[in-house]
Amino acid sequence: MFRRTFSRFCAGEEKRVGTRTVFVGNHPISETEAYIAQRFCDNRIVSSKYTLWNFLPKNLFEQFRRIANFYFLIIFLVQVTVDTPTSPVTSGLPLFFVITVTAIKQGYEDWLRHRADNEVNKSTVYIIENAKRVRKESEKIKVGDVVEVQADETFPCDLILLSSCTTDGTCYVTTASLDGESNCKTHYAVRDTITLCTAESIDTLRAAIECEQPQPDLYKFVGRINIYSNSLEAVARSLGPENLLLKGATLKNTKKIYGVAVYTGMETKMALNYQGKSQKRSAVEKSINAFLIVYLFILLTKAAVCTTLKYVWQSTPHNDEPWYNQKTQKERETLKVLKMFTDFLSFMVLFNFIIPVSMYVTVEMQKFLGSFFISWDKDFYDEEIHEGALVNTSDLNEELGQVDYVFTDKTGTLTENTMEFIECCIDGHKYKSVTQEVDGLSQTDGPLTYFDKADKNREELFLRALCLCHTVEIKTNDAVDGVTESAELTYISSSPDEIALVKGAKRYGFTFLGNRNGLMRVENQRKEIEEYELLHTLNFDSVRRRMSVIVKTQRGDILLFCKGADSAIFPRVQNHEIELTKAHVERNAMDGYRTLCVAFKEIAPDDYERINRQLLEAKMALQDREEKMEKVFDDIETNMNLIGATAVEDKLQDQAAETIEALHAAGLKVWVLTGDKMETAKSTCYACRLFQTSTELLELTTKTIEESERKEDRLHELLIEYRKKLLHEFPKSTRSLKKAWTEHQEYGLIIDGSTLSLILNSSQDSGSNNYKSIFLQICMKCTAVLCCRMAPLQKAQNLCFILPQFLYQFFCGFSQQPLYDAAYLTMYNICFTSLPILAYSLLEQHINIDTLTSDPRLYMKITGNAMLQLGPFLYWTFLAAFEGMVFFFGTYFLFQTASLEENGKVYGNWTFGTIVFTVLVFTVTLKLALDTRFWTWINHFVIWGSLAFYVFFSFFWGGIIWPFLKQQRMYFVFAQMLSSVSTWLAIILLIFISLFPEILLIVLKNVKRRTARNPNLELPMLLSYKHIDSGYS
């Protein structure tokens, strides 16, 4: 019923799809009609992953998606259901430990997210209800509520600005938490609501907002507000991004604003940008999964071999059923196929520890604890904001060492984004510095033929354009009135370029004094105040690359002023005007300055009526508004007259050149993305050493492909030519390629936006459908790319652990007899070997920080996941196989002596297995100690402590008769084993033999390093620390 009434108020409008209607203050438009409240989501923010009710099932589901966890679950179930040689505890307890520790870690991280959500959701806000300020929690905001926000507060939801404490209804906002931009942005209220600056007046507003449904684009918003008076006659005003205040943004330089909530909670743009993200998996985890599949194949092979050999062994009658181990009737009647299958499963259970269940928890804990190291790093602490590095997720910590490509913007990243006006050109005449006389501004430009200054009227027209064609606002401390305050003006804008241009005009005698009552006020060179009515602003966008304003003078003339990139302005002005300015623009671009061209035109009253009508229609559209406005803008900004151009400097950031050079030396490829003119961007890239003087540049730009009538054919020729050159120069291997960068010719690629679009959108009939693949090959082999004009150690511990168990089957008739006691199987990955590898992964520093920073080339040794490639994997696997054979056959050789004790008592199989296990634990732990170069008390504690704990546990486990055990097979075994001198000597000898290849390798590396060291050579250092003149400042 209410919707029908509202449709009557908006007669003539078609039914909109994908829009929502919001009633300001949740007030009905007509008091005579029933009001049905609409249902929208509440304002709660939920960034957490779990709840109290779904944590257990959801976390278990996610954990058992991992190969190792799922595998051990299957093994545990097999042990429970099938008669296997080992107890279910041997796999069930480690699995329970891993699952529990991982769940605690993930639960803790999610608790932190819950706590952060509660801080936001429970924060205090003020809502206007019944003409009063009502204090509420943020989560209780509803769509339609009118919210009051004070200075320096963040917006609790997405709001449409209704009014502010300023008379013109503007406010200033920073969006650093959303897009990283620290500049103040100006937002506006529609003129019909700017006077509603109190709770009482804002409560009288009866209005409805039609807008698009929530979508994540921070810079797009389409809507309109229908304001109703007592006569219920609607006044419609368009709403755009300049009217929308985003959740997470902060109110600055404005005491107070009122806004109506249009998107709340998980439908705000900030929340939508964080939703639906797939779980990221690091390259390390992917490699671990791949290697686990290899070990799973080895496990299946071992089980199959042992099963086959068991039945070969049992093919002899006295081996199948010896006198001391007669089969039961049930065993004789069991199908042979079923028996073979159960035997296969039993061997899998026996060898299952080849896959280390604790490896995932070790990796998880290393990531989790490593994130604290990043947060504690003093080098990451910013003294200005008093904050250190913040780790939002620990899942990808190790990826910091695997970066291959760095994509960077130019403005604000390589440069400071603090613009300074350098010079300008008016009708081809250069104006560079201010002299004592205001009129003495002109200076001739070398290549130009005009030696006198521009006409006085043209000078003033140009300076007026700089004062009017912008979105700059004035920070209002006190009312600015008259000339006396003009020297202390503070300009605010989202674009530093605009502030620089306004300040440049002020340097030449034209001062922008701000807006008052819809009038832009300018003080001219004669100290006179000029006022211009701002009729329309045609905002800048990355496609048009220009902006315009339409103003009305005091005499009633209507003028359009336009500024933008030369590529956007030159096609829209008279051809004979271009040459006078083009030389100036190109020279400034070569000097690294940012250039803009300025144009204007007069608009006849009749034409303005048509333009005004078209603009209003386009602005009011809810569907395809951007396309309609772009078409209108395109029609308006034609047949203009070029006045001149400006040059603004954006200085490089401190240490920008040294940083880029270090990234190159480390083998990283740097891509610079910028909207600047190609010459400007190229000059900046030389200055920041993205390109060296020796770098050969490959250009794919509009200029290079315009030589041919058919652009796509010419583009294809260039792509083929560049690919042949690069393939001939560099080898195919990626790692060899990185090494080649320091030994061969370096290449850099320059491409502009239009050419990139041509590559990505090539026509099907061009015969060049492989543009993308060729372009990708070229990019991968270039050390730098300028886009301008754009819009296993632990796994080998476990192989040597289970190999003796496999070998033992050859000496026990493949009877599935365990070599190790169940307690050792259970404790090996949990207690005996887990802490040393965790401490090593957190604390080890093979190379000290000073060496790393002085020689970035060392980074190339670990990129491309180099430590988890096939080569290192095979090395550790074969080394583990060697050690496993030493453990087993060394102990087997020791047992060839009939008696190892003075009393003639013979050791049994559990003593044999305990000796093997003791050598194993000491070898893998000491191997880690050999590889440790950065010793701390923590390393000493966990390494020697783990060995001491093993000895203590073995004495304790074998020194007590445990009532819950059926067999006391380990009773006094360890103590009696160590009573033999032969056993002591054997253990020490086997540990040394196992570690000998590692010790020999370390010795050979040290000898090689000392031999290669030349004391007369300088240590490797960055070029930036050497006094080499590159020719660019």
Write the DSSP string, 411-435: IIIIEEEEEEEEEEEETTEEE----
Name 602's bridge partners: 559
Residues, the chain, total? 1033
Write the DSSP string, 883-917: HHHHHHHHHHHHTTSS--STT-PPP-HHHHHHHHH
Give the per-residue pLDDT at 324. 62
Contact (CB, 8 A) for 572 and 638: yes
- What distance lies between CA 674 and its chain's CA centroid? 19
- Of the residues 203, 320, 409, 591, only one is catalytic, namely 409
- Cα–Cα distance for residue pair 953/826, rounded to 1 Å: 13
Strands 146-150 and 256-263: antiparallel
**Side chain identity at 1030, as an amino acid letter?**
S
Strands 747-752 and 473-474: unpaired
- Would you call 111 helix, strand, or coil by DSSP? helix
**Contacts of 1018 by beta carbon, 8 Å cutoff, 6+ apart:** none
Contact (CB, 8 A) for 356 and 838: no
Name 181's bridge partners: 175
409 is an active site residue: yes
- What distance lies between CA 200 and its chain's CA centroid? 46
Query: What are the tens digits of pLDDT across the range 705-748?
Result: 765 667 777 888 888 888 888 877 655 554 444 554 445 667 88
Sites in the chain below the pLDDT cut of 50: 1-17, 277, 434-451, 478-487, 734-737, 740-742, 764-768, 792-796, 1015-1033
733 burial level (CB within 10 Å; 0-12, 13-18, 19+): exposed
CA-CA-CA-CA dihedral for 429, 434, 439, 440, to nearest 10: -70
Closest CA to 501 of 531, 537, 476, 469: 469
Give the per-residue pLDDT at 492. 84
172 phi and psi, to 5 degrees? -120, 135
Instruction: Give the H or E element holding residue 363.
Output: helix 358-376
Strands 250-252 and 146-150: unpaired
End-to-end CA distance of the chain: 72
- Cα–Cα distance for residue pair 703/474, rounded to 1 Å: 41
**Contacts of 628 by beta carbon, 8 Å cutoff, 6+ apart:** 617, 618, 621
Closest CA to 415 of 648, 153, 728, 168: 648
Question: Which whole-number Å values give the CA distances from 977 to 818, 884, 895, 909, in the listed order?
Answer: 19, 21, 12, 12
**Contacts of 379 by beta carbon, 8 Å cutoff, 6+ apart:** none
Three-state SS string over 471-490 comes to: CCEECCCCCCCCHHHHHHCC
Q: How many Cβ atoms are within 10 Å of 888's Cβ, its own excluded?
A: 26
Closest CA to 838 of 369, 397, 394: 369
Q: What is the CA radius of gyration of the chain?
A: 38
Q: What sign results for the dihedral spanned by CA atoms 283, 287, 290, 296?
A: negative
Q: How many Cβ atoms are within 10 Å of 267's Cβ, its own excluded?
A: 22
- Would you call 192 helix, strand, or coil by DSSP? coil
- Cα–Cα distance for residue pair 574/579, rounded to 1 Å: 10
Write the DSSP string, 806-864: HHHGGGTTT----SS-HHHHHHIIIIISHHHHHHHHHH--SS-HHHHHH-GGGGGGTGG
**pTM beyond 0.85, yes or no:** no
Contact (CB, 8 A) for 895 and 912: yes
Closest CA to 514 of 713, 506, 844: 506
Contact (CB, 8 A) for 94 and 357: yes
- Cα–Cα distance for residue pair 790/793, rounded to 1 Å: 45
Give the per-residue pLDDT at 464. 93
Using alpha carbons only, give the angle 45, 50, 54 rounded to the nearest 5 degrees: 130
Name 1000's bridge partners: none
206 phi and psi, to 5 degrees? -120, 110
Three-state SS string over 493-545 comes to: CCCHHHHHHHHHHHHCCCEEEEEECCEEEEECCCCCEEEEEEEEEECCCCCCC
754 burial level (CB within 10 Å; 0-12, 13-18, 19+): middle
The residue with tokens 């270039």 is 782
Name 596's bridge partners: 646
Contact (CB, 8 A) for 755 and 715: yes
Describe the strand order of the beta sheet including 124-129 as a list of residue ranges. 132-137, 124-129, 146-150, 256-263, 158-164, 244-245
Describe the strand order of the beta sheet including 250-252 as a list of residue ranges. 181-188, 170-175, 250-252
Q: How many Cβ atoms are within 10 Å of 228's Cβ, its own excluded?
A: 18
943 phi and psi, to 5 degrees? -70, -55
Name 786's bridge partners: 672, 750
Q: What is the DSSP letter of 185?
A: E
Buried b (16+ CB within 10 A) or exposed e, 326-357: eeeeeeeeeeeeeeeebbbbbbbbbbbbbbbb
- Cα–Cα distance for residue pair 750/48, rounded to 1 Å: 43
